[in-house]
Structure 1
Amino acid sequence: MKHIVAKQYRENVNLARKKLEGLATPSEGWLRTVRKALGMSGAQLGRKLEVTRGAVSINEKAELSGGITIKTMQQMAESMGCRFVYAVVPETDVEDILMKRARLKATKQVRNASVHMALENQLVAEGKLVAEVERLAQEMIETSPSDLWNDDE
């Protein structure tokens, strides 16, 4: 059951990534861009929000600097007849991120084991080490170990 749920999460995140691919924040920010697209002045939006034109301007600038709250973004969007949406979207598919991490951990584990084997004069061929990294990484992906994201190993 755990694997089914994890797969559903991955599918949802990958779908969001694909839908939003290429989407970038406009140079003036979403709030100012949408307000201007609607032909609404800062004073008009301020009246809808029951704040000053200056407060609207401050919030539009705060969006660009990352200093605006989600609640304020939502209120301003709704006042313009819009809905506010936010997302955390990976640069690549979730599976790619997981495999990269699994390979990193597997490489560390295999490297540690090969050092001990070398000390005992039991060297392993490079090709076999690479194959073992891939096998171990795939096993990590399939078993989803809870320590996959721990950096202490």
Structure 2
Amino acid sequence: MKKELKQLARQRIDERLVALKPEDRFAPPPKGWIRAIRDALGMTGVQLAARMKVRPQTVEALEKSEVSGSIQISSLRRAAEALDCTLVYVLVPKKSLEEAVNERARKIAIRELGRVAHTMKLEAQETGDTSTEKRIESYIRTVLNDRDLWNEK
């Protein structure tokens, strides 16, 4: 039952994130979002600093840190609020979470079953007609659980 709940949770997250694909649509402008929105609004750095209740040099440092990727989320949130924006923070998986779990499980199953098959072959106890694909699916279903997938081996 627990396995099904995790699968359902992954599917729900995948459904929510599909609207964000392709994620390159959200690449920041060359000077960063703070500067781009501030400029588009016609707001100076001094005006933004006043709205944020910081010194103008702080706004300049924030804009530079955003471009370099070192800005803190809390600082970005404060700048967004001062620009009357909402900060949206999200991790967008490169493939669906369900695909990631299935690929990882399959990789582990193939590796583990390969070891077993090799040992059995050495002992002249090769498996019969059971298809490899069925053995992989059975191994994933009966042996692996989600937590096992992410232990590096």
**Alignment TM class, shorter chain as reference:** 0.7 to 0.9
Equivalent residues of 1:110, 1:133 under 8 A apart: yes
SS in 2 for 1:147: helix
Distance, in Å, in 2 between the alignment partners of 1:128 and 1:4 is 26
Q: 1:108 aligns with which of 107, 111, 114?
A: 111
State the 1:124 CA deviation: 4.7
C-alpha distance 70-134 of structure 1, shift in aligned 2 (>3 A): same
Deviation at 1:76, TM superposition (A): 0.5
Structure 1 pair 13–72 and aligned structure 2 pair: CA distance change class (3 A) = same
Residues 97 and 140 of structure 1, relative CA distance in 2, 3 Å threshold: farther
For structure 1, the 5+ residue unaligned runs are none
Provide TM-score, normalisation by structure 1.
0.83
State whether residues 102 and 140 of structure 1, in contact with CA within 8 Å, keep that contact through their aligned partners in structure 2.
no
What residue is the counterpart of 2:73 in the other structure? 70
Q: Distance in 2 between matches of 1:65 and 1:144?
A: 39
Structure 2 Cα separation of the partners of residues 5 and 128 of structure 1: 29
3-state SS of the aligned residue for 2:147? coil
Q: Distance in 2 between matches of 1:38 and 1:140?
A: 58
How far has the Cα of 1:126 moved from its partner? 10
The residue identity in structure 2 corresponding to 1:16 is R
How many residues align structurally? 150
How big is each residue's C-alpha offset from its partner over 1:3-41, in whole Å with a ceiling of 9 and x where there is no partner? Answer: 454244313421332121123222322222222222211
Task: Give me the TM-score of the superposition, normalised by structure 2.
Answer: 0.83
